[in-house]
Each structure stands twice: as structure tokens, then as C-alpha cells.
Amino acid sequence: MANIWLKIVKPGRSAAKWLLFLVLISIVVATYLGYFDSVRQVLDTPALTLRIGSFGFSAYTLLSSIIAIALVFWTTAIIVDTVEHRISGIQSMRAANRALVLKLAQIVIYLVAFLVGLDFVGIDLTTLTVFSGAVGIGLGFGLQKIASNFISGLILLMEKSIEEGDLIELSDGTFGYIRRASARYTLVETFDSKEILVPNEDLITSRVVNWTFSNSSARIEIEVGVAYDSDIDLAHDLILAAAREHPRCAIKPEPACFLRSFGDSSVNFILHFWVEDVTLGRWPTQSEVMFSIWRKFKDNGIEIPFPQRDLHIKGPLNFNRSGETTPSKEG
């Protein structure tokens, strides 16, 4: 049933659409010229008229209303297809912008078609004021989230803060690329190929990290610890060399290595370097630089220590009957 109504509102094939449009136009013109007066005399009689209060409609009125509404919506479908074709051909506009503009155009066109259809049927729009107010309140509560997501999508469209191809990170840890933006949701594809439909409202009300908002560069951070008996000046130079030798390391800003702390088991350095295109990935570059640091440390005799603890026992040890040693009690 839903497919039948969809075909009535928006027919699929172009030939059938234009054929039915011409047939409806012919029927309307023939009715206007009086060729269906005999049909009107048969169907427009009190016996075939249904009255609800002061409003009444006959079988002829019902038939003519159906034809008029079908004509309005078929005409609207032709207009929508033309507008969709024109908007899709605007290559200077981003795909997300084209989708939202097309949705807005469809809503406006079908709303106008609905009002025109009511006027053709003969329904006085002023009588629907109270009813439309009640329906509006009901829809306001029932479709609150949908309306919020739609308005949020318009805000994202105007601000251009999130667009297709951007690499974003959400507050819940979702990390991936924007693949498509629609009126209700934004499609995010993660690195493990999961496609997540994120409501547009979440992108407005929550904190979003856009890694490619103004530029695609990003900083990578690596922490390195060396043993206390190592040459820390040499270690500093080797860490910087590992970063500078990597092909994806940016020249500006230059890599920087800082001595951060004297830990329990190691002298701790931190390395900062930048990559020019974060969309190519951070983890492979970070891993390759860490491998290079490991190899350079090994070739130059610099040790990366593991945590160690020294145990000091005061006083002589006594052996109990089970052979275990226990500290002696002094005094």
C-alpha cells in the first residue's frame, strides 16, 4: 500500500510520469470545457452526497478532488526532479551542502503542493487553524528530536564546521571520517570500517575534535626513558634524529625533545614532532619512529630500563625450623 501511494505522489519512470501527467491535464481541460457535465449530473446529487455539519461533498466532488490532488503531486514530482537535477549539477557546492539544500527545496515544494491541493479540493484553510494548532503541538512533542537534528544539520551546513572527508573524534571515543551528511544524521566511518550514524544534534551539543578543520597537520608525542648511567646528551640527539629521518615528519614546526623528569628507574624524555597530513594515520608513523629509537639506542649502548627495586634488610637473619630466614629481634 505504501508503494502505491509513493508511486502516486512521485512516479518512477519518466515516460509513465509524463504520460499520466498529460492524461490528468486532458481530464482537467475536458472538465473545464464541459465534456463531463453528464457525469457531474449523475454523481453530483443529494443521494450521493455526504454531509458532515455544514460541509458536504458528493461522489463527483470526491472524484474531482482525487484527480486534482494527483495532478498537483505529479506536477510537484516533475518540479522536484528538475530541481534535484539542477542542484546535483552544481559541482562548486560540496556534496553535504547539495544534500541539505535539496532536502530544504523538497520540503518547501511539497508544502506548497499540499496547500494548493487543499485549495483545489475546496477546503477553507482558515477552518483548519485550530486543528493545525493542535496537530502542531502534538508533532512538536513527538518529532522534537527529528526537528532538532534537522535544525542542527542546517547549522552545520551554514557554519561549515564539519564537512565530508573531515577526520573527527567524538566525546565517546568515536574516531573516523565524515562520509555523508544528511538532514537527520551524519555518517562516520571508523578505521575498522564501522559506519556509525551520529545524530546531528550530538555534533552541536557535544564536544567534537575536528582534526582537519583548518589544516590537516597533527602532533605526535612519544615518551622515552633511559637508564641513569646512559649518556643523556647522546640519547637526546638520537631521539631527535629518529624523528627527523622519518619521511612524514614535518620540517616546520621542527621536532623537539625535552627532558621531563627523573623517575624512579629512568631519566624520562618526551618527543614532539608533527605530520603534515593526519588523515594518512598517526599510529604507523609513531610506531616507525619508536622502532628507529630502539635501534639507535641499541647500536649506541643506551639502555631503556625496566622498573627495579632495591631491598635493604637491617640486622642479622635467623633461620626458623622450616628453613626460612627471618630478621632477628634486637634488644
Number of domains the chain is built from: 3
- Strand, helix or coil at 38? helix
Per-residue pLDDT at 2: 43
Q: Is 188 in the same domain as 246?
A: no
**Residue 134 falls within a domain, yes or no?**
no
DSSP annotation of 320: -
- Strand, helix or coil at 100? helix
CATH number at residue 274: 3.30.70.100
HSE (side-chain half, CA atoms, 13 Å) at 58: 12
How far is it, in rounded angstroms, from Cα 193 to Cα 87? 30
Radius of gyration of the CA atoms of the chain, in A: 37
**Residue 275 falls within a domain, yes or no?**
yes
- Domain hosting residue 204, numbered range: 163-210
Q: Is 223 in the same domain as 190?
A: no
CATH number at residue 200: 2.30.30.60
Residues 128-186 have pLDDT tens digits of: 555 566 566 665 666 677 778 778 877 887 777 888 888 888 988 888 888 887 777 88
**Residue 146 falls within a domain, yes or no?**
no
**Residue 311 falls within a domain, yes or no?**
no
Q: Is 252 in the same domain as 178?
A: no
Q: Give yes or no for residue 331 having a pLDDT over 50.
A: no
262 contact partners, CB below 8 Å, separation of at least 6: 268
Q: Is 65 in the same domain as 116?
A: yes
**Residue 324 falls within a domain, yes or no?**
no
Q: Give yes or no for residue 233 having a pLDDT over 70.
A: yes
Q: Is 295 in the same domain as 251?
A: yes
Q: Is 11 in the same domain as 90?
A: yes
Of the chain, the end-to-end C-alpha distance in Å amounts to: 99
Q: Is 83 in the same domain as 190?
A: no
Residues 100-130 have pLDDT tens digits of: 677 777 777 777 777 766 666 556 656 555 5
HSE (side-chain half, CA atoms, 13 Å) at 180: 9
| Domain end residue (candidates: 182, 210, 238) | 210
Q: Is 61 in the same domain as 119?
A: yes
Q: How far is CA 313 from CA 57, 310, 322, 327, 328, in A?
A: 105, 10, 20, 8, 10
Residues 41-78 have pLDDT tens digits of: 666 666 666 665 555 556 666 667 777 777 777 777 77
**Residue 76 falls within a domain, yes or no?**
yes
Average pLDDT over residues 313-325: 61
Average pLDDT over residues 301-318: 74
Q: How confident is the model at residue 226 (pLDDT cuts 50, 70, 90)?
A: very high
How far is it, in rounded angstroms, from Cα 205 to Cα 155? 12
**Residue 129 falls within a domain, yes or no?**
no
Q: How confident is the model at residue 247 (pLDDT cuts 50, 70, 90)?
A: very high
**Which pTM was predicted?**
0.53
Average pLDDT over residues 18-24: 65
Per-residue pLDDT at 6: 46
